[in-house]
Amino acid sequence: MEKIRLGISTCLLGENVRFDGGHKLDPFLTGTLGRYVEYVPVCPEVEGGFGVPRESFLLVGAPENPRLVTTRTQVDHTERMVQWTRKRVQDLEKEDRCGYIFKGGSPSSGMERVKVYGQNDVPAKIGVGMFARAFMEPFPLPPVEEE
């Protein structure tokens, strides 16, 4: 039986790529669904050159065009992530994928309801992760979902 190819946030496969050196292994995705799927893992932060562990990120500013900023030092990494994201999305266009599974809540990979910090540093769950947005815009037809 030919397996379906799906993009997936690497941390969901149990890889220690998160900011704290951990993962978010999802047994359903790796076990039950994994029997029918060939995953194409992507970790925007690691592939974008940010180490493990690393300072965590958050989205700041306008929800439609937020900045990617480190939580403690407030370093803006937006341009670095945008450049990497453009290239990676172009690479993914060439691959034969049938959809994508994103990591919910992630400032890079969350597809909806990601916290965006606005005025007075008050978060609102109205954002989309930088990589998820860049991926979904040119690919409106393939199914996308969060874990």
Q: What percent of the chain has pLDDT over 70?
A: 100
Residue 131 scores a pLDDT above 90: yes
Alpha helices in 35-139 (DSSP H): 44-47, 78-93, 130-136
Summarize pLDDT for 12-66 with one digit per residue, the tens. 999 999 999 999 999 999 999 999 999 999 999 999 999 999 999 999 999 999 9
Whether 75 and 68 have beta carbons less than 8 Å apart is answered as: no
- Give Cα separations from 110 to 4, 28, 78, 94, 133 (angstroms): 22, 19, 16, 23, 9
Residue 1 scores a pLDDT above 80: no
pTM summary value? 0.92
As beta bridge partners, residue 70 has: 57
Distance CA 13, CA 24 (A): 7
Summarize pLDDT for 71-108 with one digit per residue, the tens. 999 999 999 999 999 999 988 888 878 899 999 999 99
